[in-house]
Amino acid sequence: MTQPVLQGQDPTVEVEDTVMMENAQSVFHEAATAASITLGNIFRHPDAHPIVLDLILIRKYGVDWMDWEPETLTLVIERDFKSSLSEVNLSKIHATKTLHMVDTFWQRWEVFNWCTMCFNSLMPNFEVLQIPTVAQCMAAADTAQRIRQDVPYTEEVKQWLAATFFHDQIAYALEPLDFVHLDVENFHIDLENIKERWPEVRKTGRVPTAQSAEDIQLERLKTVHDYLSAYRARLTAQINLVSHALRVLLQFQG
């Protein structure tokens, strides 16, 4: 089994920490994003949700597009949608195709990681190890389960996810990653206290003002939960584009 390599384990591997990338590229501003995305620009918009891109292609071309070369796909999209296809959105489309056609997202940590970059509007780097955040992994898992639910995660991917939680110093796995087993012995926290208090924090949106170890964990949980909520809100805001796609395409072609 291929084992994941984290920073510090192998000095010959260059590591890119996407926590800083996440802060720099912020994927929020959902209200503005929802207002700015249309069928005419979704293929070039950096905040296009991968599920929406996938559904538009399936509605328009069936499953035939999954057999096309990237150059053909780009040409056809730009012709039919009168829009350029951005590189980051092409990577999202290829990631969704990977989930449709093979099981490796759920089986190999590196494939999970490359797809995670794509689903979070980041270009995957096949030469530099990019460390995802827990929030980004949650978004990727949320996307994957909307495409397929018939493949279990292997221990290899579970170990990679557990290492990601450790990297972000988060001791409690929320859905859709609540299947990940975390060794919290070295965190020196009261996990039951966190589990008991989390529903109220999630409901009210108010984080504790104290700074105990448990309070810090709850603050981190709210941060990753907010990220996933915003990611899901983006899908909800854009999904109506799919139902109108064929009608608008006929107007384009008329």
CA atoms within 13 A of residue 157's CA, in its CB half-sphere: 23
Q: CB of 225 within 8 A of CB of 178?
A: no
Q: What is the pLDDT of residue 4?
A: 38
Res. 214 pLDDT band, cuts 50 70 90: very high
Give a yes or no: residue 184 inside a domain: yes
pTM, whole model, 2 decimals?
Answer: 0.84
User: What's the domain range around 97?
Assistant: 15-253
Distance, in Å, from the CA atom of 166 to the CA atom of 133, rounded to the nearest integer, reads 10
Nearest to 142 by CA among 235, 57, 218: 235
pLDDT digits (tens, 9 = 90+) for 194-205: 999 999 999 999
Q: CB of 32 within 8 A of CB of 237?
A: no
Give a yes or no: residue 3 inside a domain: no
Res. 28 pLDDT band, cuts 50 70 90: very low
Residue 128: phi, psi to the nearest 5? -115, 135
Whether the per-residue pLDDT at 20 is higher than 70: the answer is no
Overall number of domains in the chain: 1
The DSSP line for 177-236 is STT-----GGG---HHHHHHHHHHHHHH-PPPSS--HHHHHHHHHHHHHHHHHHHHHHHH
Distance, in Å, from the CA atom of 96 to the CA atom of 143, rounded to the nearest integer, reads 9
Give a yes or no: residue 131 inside a domain: yes
CA atoms within 13 A of residue 232's CA, in its CB half-sphere: 15
Give a yes or no: residue 76 inside a domain: yes
Give a yes or no: residue 10 inside a domain: no
Give a yes or no: residue 8 inside a domain: no
Give a yes or no: residue 7 inside a domain: no
Give a yes or no: residue 9 inside a domain: no
pLDDT digits (tens, 9 = 90+) for 39-77: 889 999 999 999 999 999 999 999 999 999 999 999 999
Alpha helices in the chain (DSSP H): 18-25, 30-36, 50-61, 70-80, 87-101, 104-107, 109-119, 134-147, 155-168, 191-204, 213-238, 240-243, 245-253
pLDDT digits (tens, 9 = 90+) for 104-159: 999 999 999 999 999 999 999 999 999 999 999 999 999 999 999 999 999 999 99
